[in-house]
Structures are given as structure tokens and as C-alpha cells.
Structure 1
Amino acid sequence: MGPRSPRANGGQNHHGFDSWRHDDSTGSAQHSEFRQPSPNPGFGGDPNNNFYQLHSSKSAVELSAYESIAPVAIVTILFFLWGFASGLLTVLNNKINSTIKNTEGALIGLHSAYYGGYLVGPLTFSGYIFRHYGFRITFIVGLVIYGVGCIVFWPCGVLQTYPGFIMSNFISGLGVATIEVAANLFVAICGPADYWEARLNLSQGAQAIGNVFAPILADKVIFRRDERSSNTEWLISVQWGYLGVAFFDFALALFFWYVPLPECTDAEITRVNRWRPARSHDEKAQKRLVGKKALLLIGVWAQFCYTGAQEIITVNGPNLISIFSPSYVEKTNTYLWSAEGLLAFGRLAGGVGMFYIPARWWYLFFASGCIVTSTLLVGLQYTTINSEAVIALRMLVQFFESILFPTIFAISLRGLSGRNVKWGASWVVLGVCGGAIWPPIYQAIRNRYGPNTLEGSRVGWVLVVVLFSVGPGVQAFLVNFKPSWRHKLDGLSKRKLRERYESDGTIGGGMNGANNHVA
């Protein structure tokens, strides 16, 4: 899958091949990899890729803000792709359900199958490939799997089999989860360490933009249905669209095989990200300051709760409008598309704002906004005379959702050593499986008190308030008001504090003999 270091062959150090390593990049050379391949005599490039050498010898974490623009922009294509894919699947699942099953439970099943891929991939093969073969190979594998998921749709459309559509959604989700394990971390660490959260929010803004355009194109162009056409004819037309997406995925995978993306090792991430308490012999103080990975664990929980609340809102958005604002049903799609546009705007605006105001404050503000708006939605649902306010709050809650996913991801990995950052990225992406678990629970609660009724919807929406509160709300509060966590985050993200802590040894350090895998 990737070339091995010459050190693995007798421990020889060939000048020009291994010279990119730093003195503090300690570790087991048997598990290390090149950041730049050796030249190919026949093609003037890499003998493994049969192409000329494209890879920079500079580590991703060593790039300046200007140097990081190109690689981050390239990977941002992937963010747009899975945003577009998510938008397409949302529309397609609704249409497939209305064509084949026409039940809300079947729609939830299709939706949960996609997010079920996040439950399987990150801690199994996706995480393994990422930890051992780096960013580029992980992108390629994820794109291929996602393309296979799109191709599987073809026979499912011919046979009109609901289990087949479940499998297609699951494989697609598995591919996107594989991409996401590596892509989020790549964008975060590629460039100055001060701006992890800002870079990730800006790149994920592309994902939100893809999620805006996909439903519009799907509804108006790609999956537009002639009233005179049969279900079979309509599904065949959709098959061609998915076949086109599959070929685009495979072409993009080939592109990433040759694209010049920087890599980095465990030790290099550690040098810019690991927080060590000031030279103290108080073991209890050190454990308290570092938190024993508590920031990561609560980040996984926050991601699990946030994604669940987000998908409850996404899946049940039309239902909320039809129940509480029946006079606005004809414009449901317009309101939902506008809400997605607000999410994209909030993510881009928040990313820019994080260059000037610490990300933890933005996180607290937006998490609080989610709690307040979802609580007001519950309150307004006791009467139907506030239909305009219900719609406005339904749109506003998505604006406040905007920065939560990327900010939770980046903040939760702050302070970890290199190998733990890669494991942590897998765990935080695992938290996205909340999108498969919480919507069925919401549906069960709502059905218990009456589906499609005021009382059932009102009681169900309490779950959204709870998820925002005990997930992102708790983590946002702790990173701002728990002194040890606030101290750690500021030390890793504020330039003046970084310079001071790097000089006294509070930040950084070697790997103590750990495997120096390419990240």
C-alpha cells in the first residue's frame, strides 16, 4: 500500500531518502513510512506509483498558513462531496420510501443505515488504514467504498428491494466515514497549530454548501419525476445519476493517488499538540491538568449527542412544519433549504471569527443557541397560533448547529500525543453514529404519545433539548470554565502562550520509543 523506510532494511540510512526525518522523530522504523517516495528511473518519478515524484518533503504540521492553503483546498473537495452525498441521500430516501414502503419507520431505517457505517468503520479497517498508511491512502479507500455503495444502488433500483437500499446506504456511509476519519484531522493539523478549529470550520463550510445545493438539484433536476412515469421508470433514471456519482468517486480516488499531499508522523504531531504540565513532581496535579483524555471522551459523547439531535431535526423537519404550520406546507422545501443555507453561513462566519476570538467562546455561544432555540420550540408547540415563530426557530436552530461538529472534533483532540490524536480522530468520528441511534428513539417517543399529533411531537422534541444540553452544552461549559481544560486549550491555540510554553517545555516532546507511523 505504501513504500517503507529504508531503515527497515538493515537499518541503513540512505541520504536523500530519509533526510526528511527530524531528530526528535523517534520510534520504531519498522512501522515508519516515507513522506516522499523515491524517484522512478523509467518515468522520472515514484516506482510505486509509476509517476513522477509529487510529494513534498515538508510535514503537514510544519506548513505556514500560506503553504497550507493548497492542500487544505484539495481536501475540501472531499468535504463538498460528502455534503452533496448526504443531501442527495436525504432526498432519495424520502422518494424511495414513498415509492416502496411509504412508512415513517422505513424512512428512519434508510437514514439509520447510512449512519450505521460510522459505527463500524472508524475503529476497524478505516482507523487501521489511516494509522498505518496515512491520509492519502485512506482518502482513496473511502472514495472507492463510497463509489461501490452508489453502484450497489443500480441492482436495487431494478429489483426495487428495500433491503438492497439499506445495504447501499450502509456501504455509502461506510465510505464517507472512512474519508472523514482522515480528512477532518488533515485539515485541522495542516498549517499553524493556532487555527485547528478555524480551518476545519471553513473547510466544513464546503460540506454545508454541498448539502444546500444537492437537495435543490435533486428535487428540480436530477431526481425530477414526470407524473406519467412509473416507479420503475423513475428509479432507472435515478440509477444513472448514481452511476455518474460512482464514476466521479473513482476518478477522484485516482486523482488522490497522484495529488501532492503532505503527510506527518506521530512525533511531529506530538511536538505541536501534546500538552505537558509545567515541570512539576506532583503526580495528582499532572493527572488533574491533563485530564487523562477526559476531554476526548466527553468530545465523543458530545459528538454522539449532537449528531443525534441534528438528524432528528433533519428527518422530522417537514413533519414539524406540517403539524404546527399547516398553512406553510407548500413552501416546506424552501424553508428547509433556507435553513441549510443558514448552517453553511454560520460555519463559514464562525471559522473566520475563530481567527480573532478563541474557538471555545464561539463553541459556548453556538451550543447555548441550540439549547435556547430548541427549548423555545418545545414551548411554542403548546399552541398553533405561533406558526411563523415555529418556522423561524426551526431555521435558526440549524444556524446554531453550524460550528458544533467541526469544533467538537478539533477541540476534543487538543493536547494528545500523535498516536493518540489518530486514535482520537477515529473515536470522535465514531460518535457520528448517534445519527443512526437517536432518530429511532425520537420516533418511538413520539409514537408513544401519538404520531402526527401536537402532543407526540412536543414530547419528542424534549429529547432534542436534552441531547444539546448533555452533549455539546456540557463540553462547551467545561472547556470555558474548567480551569485546567481552559489553560490547556489556550496554551495550544494562542500564539503568545504557545511561544512561552514551548520555550519552557510545557508543550511538545518526543514519543518515548513509540511507533512513528505516518499520520
Structure 2
Amino acid sequence: MGPRSPRASGGQNHHVFDSWRHEDSIGSVQHREFRQPSPNPGFGGDPNNNFYQMHSSKSAVELSAYESVAPVAIVTILFFLWGFASGLLSVLNNRINTTIKNTEGALIGLHSAYYGGYFVGPLTFSGYIFRHYGFRITFIVGLVIYGVGCIVFWPCGVLQTYPGFIISNFISGLGVATIEVAANLFVAICGPAEHWEARLNLSQGAQAIGNVFAPILADKVIFRRDERSSNTEWLISVQWGYLGVAFFDFALALFFWYVPLPECADADLTRVNRWRLVRPLDEKAQKRIVGKKALLLIGVWAQFCYTGAQEIITVNGPNLISTFSPDYVAKTNTYLWSAEGLLAFGRLAGGVGMFYIPARWWYLLFASGCVVTSTLLVGLQYTMTNSEAIIALRMLLQFFESILFPTIFAISLRGLSGRNVKWGASWQVLGVCGGAVWPPIYQAIRNRYEPNYMVGTRVAWVLVIILFAAGPGAQAFLVNFKPSWKQKLDGLSKRKLRERYERDGTIGPKTDSANDHDA
């Protein structure tokens, strides 16, 4: 059995995967130490258990920067898998649409089905499993669901049924959403609290790298199609590729069943992330200054808008080049792969930069870059004489997108305490369902101007500008220029301010006993 919370097990003999906690750490009084089992009782192991003995260590939030490297690196494997899956599905959806339906509406339907999993999972079973069973079990469940989604592709490929591919995409999205509910928060909190945004950007750089390599491998190796092969023969070759991905998911789930990962009690999160006032104020003033829920909710909205804009750009990226830059059609894939490479570079560079400059300033810079770049694209879409500029701006836009998702995620959870952090993580992942909502709206706007495709694309592209400005742009502006939010974020993310506020009691501890369970 996996780790369970005291609430779930009645607090008696529950096996909390707590091998990373010192005996004197927060929560150790409430929770018994659970050591990794050993196969050999003669060497200090438990004869009733079946794996190896690990020494006692710390809670995730108590790890130093050096100690956090190993667990973060292990979970980063999941980010690479997520990026690789997204890249494969993007290529596969285009090929399936060409083979079966060959309409833009069908292609958007496949994308929307994948992101529909983000609407269902986070606030239902995914969030429940995470809050009650911890990070490790959530990873395992997500990997198994994703593997099932890949297996479902097999009969769909045999029958060549579009509804079947919709179901396969939905199950795959549900699995990845389940992984994300826990993985993003794990990477953020695992280590010094002032580096949440930096760690998450660096780790999600692996996701971006996976997204770069997947389309290249799919186009050149995995899903390569001989001109003489029929649709059925091509789909059979793709089936074997997805079967291999499914078995890899199951093997990775087995790996996470045994790998020792630190867990984190709600009390630990409260201690390092809770902002409280030095002197008591009336309820109205406290809400105005702290604004915890407001920061989270606008973060969910920013995530919803950003993911929608990202998917509009992804789905319509090839059309931008083929319509307005016909001289470069033969190199469309090269430009799109280069754009993904810029996104990966931006995420890694931004993550490093956040160790030196506050994340909120990087957030404002990149969100503003998205608004400006997408606005310039509108002005350049009237003629075909701006081919090079359109390609350059299209690639630059993806660079500015790079840090938005991980930075929104981490910043929006600042100041929350205990269980609320985990609920907030579920809500943040829910915001990703914007990828299922906004692309169909974009297509509907553009179709109103047919057969004048250029004018329709230009008018519909205004939606992208609005999404970047009203979502990430608005939140980035508030966290930099709203005094109470700026004070809170700096107090939680700047080392010197943090140490001062911990001494005077502005941050920590004063935990709520209702939030002191492991999840």
C-alpha cells in the first residue's frame, strides 16, 4: 500500500512515506518515521518489507539546495515525458487528421480532447489522490493512466475511428494532468523556499527539450511514412510506437513505486510559505494586504489565458508560415522546431536568471514581450512581403512564452498555507484546460471572414493579444506594482528579507492543527 494520511487511515499505524524527515523536524511529533524496507533483516532491515533501507532524512521543504538536486532530477524525468508526449501527440494529431478527416475542425477537436483531461482530473480524483496519498502515488497513478491512453490508440488505429482517437487523447491528457498536479508543486517546494520559480523553470526546461526532440524523432524515425505505404500500414507502424511508450510509462510507474522521494506535511508548507501580519488588523484590511486567494485566482485565470494562446499558436503555427511566407513552406518544420528550441532556451535561461533577479521582474519582461510580439504580428499579416519578419516574430513569440507557465504556477501559490497550497496546485493545473476552450473560439472568429483568409487570420489573432494581456500581462503587472503583493512575494523569495521577516514573525510558523497532515 502507498502512503496514507492520518485522516485517511485514522492515524493508526499509517505508512507515511516519511523517510526524508529528521526526528526533530516539524511534524515529526505527529507522524511516525517510516523507513524504506530492506530485503535482508540481518542488515537492519524489516523482514516484513521487501526493498532497501534508507537513512532518515528531511521533509521536502527542509532540503538544502544541494540535497534537493537528486529528488528534483528524478521528478524532472516526468517533465521530459510530458513534453515528449505533447510533441508526439501534436505530430500524430496532424497525421491522423490528414488520414481520416482532413479538416481544421477535426484537428482542433483532437487537441481539445487532450486538454479536456485537465478540466476533469485536477479537482476530482487527481487532486484527491494527491492530497491524501502524496506525491509518489500521484505520479504512479498518472503514469498508469497515460499508459492506458497510449494502449487505447491501438484499437483506434486498427478501426481508424475518429471518436476513438478523441477518447485516446482525452485519457492521455487525464494522465498527464494527474502527473502535473503533483510534479509542479514537488519541484517548486523541494529545496530553499526562495527559489520556487527558478527550480520550476529549470525543471520544466526538460519538458521543453522533450517537446523539441519528439517532433523531430516522430517525423524522421518513429512515424516516418513511406510514400508508397497506405494509411493502414502507416497507422500500424504508429501503433507499435505508442505501445512502446505505454510500456515505458508502466516501467516508470514501477520505478516510482520503489524510489525514495521526500514527502511534505502541510505544517511544513505553512512554516515556510505562510505570510502573516505582525500586528492584528481588522478583517477588511487583512484581506486587502494579504490577498492570498486573489493572487491564486488571478493566477488560475492567467494560466487559462496563457494555455489558450499557446495552443492557438501551436495549432495555427504552420498556417502562419504557409499563408504569409509561401517561400519558406519547405522549411516549415525546421522553423517550428527552432521555435521550440528557443522556448527551451528561454526557460533554462530564465530559471538561472531568477537566482539573481526576482522572478516577478522576469515575469513582467516576458509577459510584455508576448503582448508586443503578438501585436506586431497583427500589423504584418496584410501582405506577403513580410515573410522573414513574420517567421522571426513567430519564433520570438515562442521564446517569450517560455517562462510563463512555471512562473505563474509558483508565484500564484506564494503566501498560501498548508492544505491550501495543494488545493492551489490543483486549481493551477485546472487552468490548463484553456487549451481546449480558446482554439475553437479563434477558429470561429476566423471562419466568419472566409474566403478572405488573410483578413480572418488577422482579426482572429487579436484574441491572442487579448489573452496574453488580460491573463499573464495583468498578473505580472499586479505582482510588480501592487504594494501588498510585491511586499509578500519579496518577503518569501528574497533571502535577506526572508530572514528578517522570520525573525520578527511576519513569516511562519503559527500553524493550524487542522492542516498538519501529510498529503
TM-score computed with the length of structure 2 as normaliser: 0.94
Q: Distance in 1 between matches of 2:443 and 2:468?
A: 18
Partner of 1:314: 314
- Specify the SS of the correspondent of 1:514: helix
- Tell me: CA distance 1:324–1:279, structure 2 relative to 1, closer, same or farther (3 Å): same
**Pair 1:412 & 2:412 matched:** yes
Contact 2:347 2:403 in 1 (8 A): yes
Residue correspondence of structure 1 range 47-66 to structure 2 within 5 A: 50-54=50-54, 56-66=56-66
**Pair 1:25 & 2:33 matched:** no
Contact 1:25 1:510 in 2 (8 A): no
Q: Output the aligned Cα RMSD.
A: 2.3
* More RCO (CA 8 Å, sep 6+): 1
- Tell me: CA distance 1:432–1:6, structure 2 relative to 1, closer, same or farther (3 Å): closer
Superposition deviation, residue 230 in structure 1: 0.8
Partner of 2:382: 382
- Specify the SS of the correspondent of 1:275: coil
Q: Distance in 1 between matches of 2:14 and 2:170?
A: 45
Partner of 1:143: 143
- Read off the aligned partner of 2:185 and give its amino acid letter: L
Partner of 2:181: 181
- Read off the aligned partner of 1:266 and give its amino acid letter: D
**Pair 1:90 & 2:90 matched:** yes
Partner of 2:234: 234
- Read off the aligned partner of 1:261 and give its amino acid letter: L
Q: Distance in 1 between matches of 2:383 and 2:354?
A: 39
Instruction: Identify which range, 267-276 or 442-451, moves more after superposition.
Output: 442-451
- Tell me: CA distance 1:270–1:5, structure 2 relative to 1, closer, same or farther (3 Å): closer
- Tell me: CA distance 1:496–1:205, structure 2 relative to 1, closer, same or farther (3 Å): same
Contact 2:22 2:28 in 1 (8 A): no
Partner of 1:327: 327
- Read off the aligned partner of 1:25 and give its amino acid letter: G
Q: Deviations over 1:77-129 (max 9, x none)?
A: 00000100000000000000000111111000001100000000000000000
- Specify the SS of the correspondent of 1:422: helix
**Percent of aligned positions with the same letter in both sequences?**
85
Partner of 2:167: 167
TM-score computed with the length of structure 1 as normaliser: 0.94
Superposition deviation, residue 466 in structure 1: 0.3
Superposition deviation, residue 418 in structure 1: 1.4
**Pair 1:264 & 2:254 matched:** no
- Read off the aligned partner of 2:311 and give its amino acid letter: E
Residue correspondence of structure 1 range 105-116 to structure 2 within 5 A: 105-116=105-116
Partner of 1:474: 474
Contact 1:445 1:456 in 2 (8 A): yes
What is the aligned length? 514
Partner of 1:67: 67
Superposition deviation, residue 511 in structure 1: 3.1
**Pair 1:81 & 2:110 matched:** no
Superposition deviation, residue 56 in structure 1: 4.7
Unmatched segments (≥5 aa) in structure 2: none
Partner of 2:124: 124
- Tell me: CA distance 1:414–1:381, structure 2 relative to 1, closer, same or farther (3 Å): same
Contact 2:3 2:137 in 1 (8 A): no
Contact 2:36 2:51 in 1 (8 A): no
Partner of 2:367: 367
- Tell me: CA distance 1:194–1:292, structure 2 relative to 1, closer, same or farther (3 Å): closer
Partner of 1:429: 429
Partner of 1:518: 518
Superposition deviation, residue 285 in structure 1: 2.5
Contact 2:38 2:50 in 1 (8 A): no
Q: Deviations over 1:229-286 (max 9, x none)?
A: 1111100000000000000000000111111111110000110001112223343322
Contact 1:56 1:261 in 2 (8 A): no
Partner of 1:492: 492
Superposition deviation, residue 57 in structure 1: 3.1
Q: Distance in 2 between matches of 1:94 and 1:489?
A: 42
Superposition deviation, residue 290 in structure 1: 1.1
- Tell me: CA distance 1:313–1:13, structure 2 relative to 1, closer, same or farther (3 Å): closer
Superposition deviation, residue 35 in structure 1: 5.6
Q: Distance in 1 between matches of 2:452 and 2:226?
A: 29
Q: Distance in 2 between matches of 1:450 and 1:56?
A: 66
Instruction: Identify which range, 76-85 or 54-63, moves more after superposition.
Output: 54-63
